[in-house]
Each structure stands twice: as structure tokens, then as C-alpha cells.
Amino acid sequence: MASGKKGKKAPSAVQAARGSTVGQKNVPWGTITAVVAIVLLAAGVFGYYYVASSDSREQREREEVAAENFTPDQNNPDPSEKIDGVTTEQYEGGAHVRPNERVAYDQSPPFGGPHDGFWAACTGTVYSEAVRTENMVHSLEHGAIWIAYDPERVSGEDLDTLKLRVENKPYMMLSPYPGLDSPVSLQSWGHQLKVDDVTDERIDQFIAALKRNSNTYPEIGASCDALGPGQFDPDDPPPFNPEKPGPDAKPMGYQGSAGAADESMGGGQ
């Protein structure tokens, strides 16, 4: 005999689905996707920066290593004496020539002697073209380091490696020097070092030992700032003259020309 009680009706598929989601929160897939995208972007930017800055970090390490052993002090006034291959000469400072005069230098590139009354800007300046030698030598008298390179043998990544040592660094300048007898030559007043490889550790040792070393250059505290148009404009510097100086060139012992600029003109000390 049939029971008088009615059986419970089974829930429909729709009701079951609703019941399974009751009390559950919706997964914020949009937020998760956005966060993941930001994390991946940040990782990509960091990775790119890390790779792109690796050369700069390597250069800082080279400079730190050089500074440990080649920074001048009272007991070691000229650390460049410990650097193999450095050539030294004794030069008197202060002899100036006019912008239309040349000097018969005894070295190539020169690293001392008479020079133009206007110095070349040496505030971490990278010159893309060769610059008149007489202006560059004046900057050495102010304690600067001049890195010259043979444009036939140094370019691309090698040139970039040299730029890292110069760009935006006070009392540094870089320029091509056509006809140079080595790939790279470094000059400070009375000192020179020629090397074959832009990664040579002696480059950084030379800079640490001699840049603004008050024991090795004549005009302590002199400026390296750009003088500007009419004197020395780093955006339009006087060009390098590859020709051999003529018979009217001033000799190394020259005492200076009347009317040549002096240190009080355009900045001075």
C-alpha cells in the first residue's frame, strides 16, 4: 500500500550549482593578472638595467681597485712611479702662445711645454673630433688627464670603454689623435702612458695616481670649466693640425708670446 507521505523532491541541476557556490568568494582574476603583469614588467626592467649597467659597474670596480694602491699621499707623492711604462719629463709651466701659433713639441701627444693661453674644457669632456694640441696641453697644466686614442684602431665597444672613464668626470677629457703610434695614450702634466688595450688596468692606475695630484702639476686649483665662444668653445673647438710644425713654431724652451691670453682671462684660477 502506498505511503501517504510525499518524498522529498531532488534539487534541480541549477539549484545544485547555486548551492555549491554559496558562501564562496569570487576569485579576482583581473587583479591577479594585473599584479602578475606588473611583477613581470618590473623584473624585465630590472634585468635590462642590470645588463645595461654592467659596464659601468665594472668600471667602478676598476677605479676602486686602482684607488687602493695608487692614490697619492704624503709618503707616496707620485704613485705613477710604480706603474710600468710611464714616461716622465720635467716641464716649466706658464708659457703661453697665441691661438694662431704652434709649438714644436718634443712628444706626440705632448704632455707639457708651452701652450695656448686658453685651456680646453676638461670637465669630463668627450671630443668626437681631434682638438688643437696647444689647447689640450694647457688643461694638463691644470691637473687634468687627457686620454687620446687612434681612431683607426679604437672604435665601437672599445671607445665606449674609454668614455666610461671620462664622461661627466671632472678633470678628464678624451679625444681622437690621428697618427697616434699606439691605440691609447694617457697624458698628465709631465707624464705619459701608452697602452694597446682599453681594458689595461694601468689606465685606471694612471688616473688614480695623477689626476689633480698637487705634487705633479703647476697650477694647483686651476679651473677646467669651458671658457666659451671666442676663447675655447667645447662645442666648436679649434681643430687638430696634423701637419708638422713649420720653422716659425715655438720651441720647447719658449717663454711665451706677447698678447697671449693669461690665467686671468676667461676664468683663470
Count the Cβ atoms, other than its own, within 10 Å of residue 159. Answer: 15
Query: What is the pLDDT, as a whole number, of residue 45?
Result: 65
Query: What is the pLDDT, as a whole number, of residue 254?
Result: 97
Q: Which residues pair with 146 in a beta bridge?
A: 173, 187
Mean pLDDT in the chain?
89
Q: Is residue 256's pLDDT more than 60?
A: yes
Q: Are 266 and 138 in contact (CB under 8 A)?
A: no
Lowest mean pLDDT among 12-16, 112-116, 195-199: 12-16
Q: What percent of the chain has pLDDT over 90?
A: 77
Per residue in 29-73, pLDDT (tens digit) is 877 887 888 877 776 666 655 555 688 999 999 999 999 999 999
Q: Enter the C-alpha cell of residue 100.
A: 694662431
Count the Cβ atoms, other than its own, within 10 Å of residue 60. Answer: 12
Q: How far is CA 26 from CA 21, 63, 203, in A?
A: 9, 57, 64
Q: Are 159 and 149 in contact (CB under 8 A)?
A: yes
Average pLDDT over residues 119-141: 98
- So where are the chain's domains? 33-260
Provide the pLDDT confidence category of residue 263 given band limits of 50, 70 and 90.
confident
Cis before 109 (ω within 30): yes
Per residue in 200-246, pLDDT (tens digit) is 999 999 999 999 999 999 999 999 999 999 999 999 999 999 999 99
Better-scored residue on pLDDT, 18 or 98: 98
Query: What is the pLDDT, as a whole number, of residue 32?
Result: 82
Query: What is the pLDDT, as a whole number, of residue 19?
Result: 55
Lowest mean pLDDT among 143-152, 237-246, 256-265: 256-265
Query: What is the pLDDT, as a whole number, of residue 109?
Result: 98
Provide the pLDDT confidence category of residue 266 given band limits of 50, 70 and 90.
very low
Better-scored residue on pLDDT, 6 or 95: 95
- In whole angstroms, give the CA distance from residue 87 to residue 84: 9
CA-wise closest residue to 11 among 20, 1, 2: 20
Query: What is the pLDDT, as a whole number, of residue 122?
Result: 98
Q: How far is CA 209 from CA 31, 38, 62, 170, 188, in A?
A: 57, 47, 14, 15, 10
